[in-house]
Chains A and B, each alone.
Chain A
Amino acid sequence: MRRPALVIALTLGTACASDAVLPDQQATATCGNRIVEPGEACDNASPGCAQCLVVPTWTCPGNVCSPICGDGVVGSGSSCQGARRDSDCDMTGYWAVRETNYACDALFHNTQTTSQWYLFQIVQSGAGFEIVADIDCGAHVTGSATVDYTLPSLRGAMYLNPMDGSTPHGRRHGTSSATAGGCAASLDRWYLVEGVTTDYLPADFSAKPSLDSLRPLPSVKDPTAPLTVSDVPGATDPDGDGFPGIAIRLAGIVSGVRDAAQRDWKEFATTPGSSIEAAALTFHFPGSFDLQENVLHVSECGTGCGLLTTGAPASMAPGRVTFSFVGKTLGSARVASVVAATPRKSADSDLATCANLRLMLPHDPAAPPGACPMAGP
């Protein structure tokens, strides 16, 4: 009598199917598991390893990262422990620079965090320094929407507002001098325009005029209308898309491309009584900025198309500038890991340099508390 029951049980048992996923034919790289796998240059928690790529100015043999010593950087041992600059407050050399600004957008009341990258070549004399070569590496914005230059815009914007003395506004200046606690530093106010002619810049930057006091930026009544550069006096088309203004791509809650006329200024300085660590490889100090923007054209409308026509954020919050030392000599191991070629000689090389800067100083979307306070009733 037991056999029929056994047969039934076996039949029902084999009649219960389940799903199965066979192992991958080769394990794929998992960034963050501390194991260097195919496709990864490193995988550890060191600041010299970001997104499993070796950060320029670092080396990671055997998945152990350490700064590259030499060319203005000193440290102890073969791993360059305690790496620091060989000059306390002197800024001479190449620097990766990231300006971080915070703004509140008027509609969603979210903090928009902006990172703007530059390569600076600085020469210091006494307490003052000046920028002798620079590349504008574009910006990245996160918050309610993600904002990036389009590919042609990035190329067009790289050389729009040189700080190297090649314009009547001369070179951008700053100061860096020793104090009791380290170094005090500042970076002069600098005005920039994109998508309009330089006629919209103030004649004298040192006068520090407010943006509202300057000649109003070009504007249009209907940014959805098909306009050309010649239809908007004062506008330029640095990206060559045929529309007036510089093209910026938005994604997220609002998506599409808008061409805009932009004007802003930025200045930075250590606050009285504070200082930055002498000889530090990377440091930052606070600053402020202001921005004007008129949308001249919108295209590739996705979600929230109507919001594309909205201009600059409602209010700005204090930001900061971060300097990270690259090296002093073009061609040294440290500088070569960042600067692909002599700046401004080749757009392709400068774009590669910009990618290295972003890896050194990645965008940090976190905003400080109170950067965008909610207004009460």
Chain B
Amino acid sequence: MKRRSILLLCLAVAASATTAHASPLIEAAGPVGGNAGAQGVVSGPGAASTYFNPALLIDAGDELLLGFVLISEQMGITFDGRPAGSDVPLAVGNRGSILAPGQGGGLQPLPNSVVPTQWLSQGCPAGTQAGQCPAPGFTARPRQGQGTSGKTRSYLALGLVKSLIKDRFTLGLYGILPLSSFTTAQAFFPDEREALFSNSLHPELYGDRLTAVSVVAGAAFKLLPELSIGASVSLSLANAAASQDYVQDATNYNTLLMNTSVTTTVNVAPTAGVRWLPTSWLRIGGVLHSPESFTVNTTIDASLPTGTESGTTQSNVFDWMPWSVGVGAEAEILARGSTRMSVVASMGYAFWSGYLDRHGDSPGMYGSQFAWHDTASGAAGIRNVFGDARTFLDMRYIPSPVPEQTGRSNYVDNDRFGLSLGGDVALHLPTVIRPGIQLFADRFIPRHNTKDPSQIVDELPDGAVFSSGATLSPVPGAHGLQTNNPGWPGYSSGGWLWGGSITISVPL
């Protein structure tokens, strides 16, 4: 019997996830239904109050809410042209032949994560000749070829408000369910490492964050006629994936044997709210949201037939939301018959300085000047009631927590300034129904980031030499800064976040 010489490479891959699912989607969509507008913390009691301020549920009438929601994320990213001489030269593709000065002195092999820029833009064809790569070759990853901007997503909104003890204790249920791209989690690096993957930049606080399934359940309790409190929890899914692979031939992954398993669990994150009526014409509300995230811990264990084993655990964090507080006040300034008018103002403070990106890294790792800021946002607007009809008009400003990206990191985010308007009306048919419509449009205020070359990783340091043959010959094109950082030498972003909802509410 001839000896079978088949590579038996056993990879045991186990992935596990623990989470409290975030609600970036609910934050982006705003309160759906009623006339809460952009100020659900104090205005428009309804099913959406379950998330935005559960204490307001006490002021909401019993209702069943059904809505269709559209959110269009239209953030465009424009990349500056790369200056001459910043490409990683083709010679770097001759892996293992180049040494470069290391941080500790002396020559060190160039990291395998450095690839020629031409490979990224044009790929490397399979072959054995000069300028070719081992089969199947290296697939091109053109700059921003896999950008994720410009998506319009649709959702189903469901809400329920039911008073269990009249004027004393009320339950609420509220949820927004994506109708497509159901709960996508897409990891990407915010620096030069992303060149090896999509070689693109992605909006940091949108994209996959707008696909999170978000369901909230809560209750409000009236302590005093003028004071009520509420609490709610976000219910969401968490996934755990495990994969065991048996690689028979490391040069042919078509022979891979794989077993995978997925486990889904439910997690919760709390929200607390308060509503106070100091006078008959003034309502004050406050809310506290706990931090939330969707963390996936992936453990990989690899075993070789020789007995060699190695393993690692890496953590991905999705949909991270900070501690945040919000306060607001709504004052009725006109009450004449069935006509009423009120003005509303609110503000929020979010502790974004603790942000963890999709790889579980804090932006401060790139330097203290790149750590994210806490943000204070504000909104103001008016409310009108004309008999059975209600309308609202709000303006809001939401600053970006992302500082200017002059270094390695390329977190893409913009300040937002927007307008929202809408209303609903009670139709007295055989049963009373209340159809409504809400629209919003937020402008991503254009910003430009210009990179500081001294803050960028020089992937081919000056002094790089060929390690074999002409050992002391410098690598052509190594002088100056060479980088495949997708954000180099700068980029700008801007655009719109717009959308709306059509709702119908049936009193219970």
Q: Which residues of A contact B (CB under 8 A)?
A: 11-12, 15-26, 28, 30-32, 38-39, 50-51, 106-110, 117, 137-138, 140, 146, 148-151, 154-155, 249, 251, 253, 303-307, 310, 348, 351-352, 354-359, 362, 364-366, 374-377
Q: Are A21 and B144 in contact (CB under 8 A)?
A: yes
Neighbour of B305 across the interface among A107, A151, A356, CB < 8 A: A107
Q: Are A21 and B143 in contact (CB under 8 A)?
A: yes
- List A contacts of B441 (CB < 8 A): 11, 15
State the CA gap A374–B2 with chains docked (Å).
9
> Is the Cβ of B96 less than 8 Å from the Cβ of A253?
no
CB pair B308 A355 closer than 8 Å: no
Q: Kindly state the separation between the CA atoms of A355 and B118 in the bound complex, as whole angstroms.
A: 23
What are the interface flags for B1-17 relative to A under an 8 Å C-beta threshold, 1 for contact and 0 otherwise?
11111110000000000
Once the chains are docked, how many angstroms separate the CA of A359 from the CA of B109?
Answer: 21
CA distance A303 to B76 in the complex (A): 41
Residue in chain B with minimal CB distance to A314? B5
Distance of A375 from chain B, by nearest CB (Å): 4
For B304, the chain A residues whose CB sits under 8 A away are: 304, 306-307
- Decide: A17 near B469, CB < 8 A? Known: A31-B131, A307-B304: no
Contact residue among B131, B251, B307, B471 (Cβ-Cβ distance under 8 Å from A306) = B307
Interfacial chain B residues near A21, Cβ < 8 Å? 78-79, 81, 142-144
The complex places the Cα of A11 from the Cα of B74 at a distance, in Å, of 13
Q: How many residue pairs between the two chains, A and B, have CB atoms under 8 Å in the bound complex?
A: 166
Tell me if B473 and A355 are in contact (CB < 8 A): yes
Task: Provide 23 A-B residue pairs closer than 8 Å at the C-beta atoms, listed in order of the A residue.
Answer: A17-B74, A19-B77, A19-B79, A20-B79, A26-B84, A30-B122, A39-B89, A51-B90, A51-B131, A108-B7, A138-B469, A146-B96, A148-B97, A251-B95, A306-B308, A354-B469, A354-B470, A358-B469, A365-B128, A375-B3, A375-B5, A376-B4, A377-B2
CA of A12 to CA of B498, assembled, Å: 9
Given contacts A22-B80, A22-B81, A304-B308, contact A155 B471 (CB under 8 A): yes
* A372 vs B485: C-alpha distance when bound (angstroms): 41
Q: Choose one: A19, A26, A108, A137; the contact of B149 (CB below 8 Å).
A: A19
Q: Which chain A residue has the least Cβ–Cβ distance from B83?
A: A25
Instruction: Show the binding face of B for A, using Cβ within 8 Å.
Output: 1-7, 72, 74-84, 87, 89-91, 95-97, 99, 107, 109, 112, 117-118, 122, 128, 130-131, 134, 142-144, 147, 149-150, 250-251, 304-308, 310, 441, 466-473, 476-477, 494-496, 498
A146 to B97, CA, bound (A): 10
Chain B contacts of A306 at CB under 8 A? 304, 306-308
Check if A15 sits within 8 Å of B498, measured CB to CB. Answer: yes
Contacts of B80 in A (CB 8 A): 22
Contact with A151, one of B99, B118, B147 (Cβ below 8 angstroms): B99
For B131, list chain A residues within 8 Å (CB): 31-32, 51
- Taking a contact as CB atoms under 8 Å apart, the answer to whether B470 and A109 are in contact is no
| Chain B residues in 8 Å Cβ range of A376 | 2, 4
Taken together as a complex, chains A and B put the C-alpha atoms of A194 and B173 apart, in Å, by: 77
Q: Decide if B87 touches A253 in the complex (CB within 8 Å).
A: no
In the A-B complex, the 4 residue pairs with the closest CB atoms: A355-B470, A17-B76, A17-B495, A26-B84
Q: Are A151 and B84 in contact (CB under 8 A)?
A: no
Report the bound CA distance from A108 to B4 in whole Å.
11
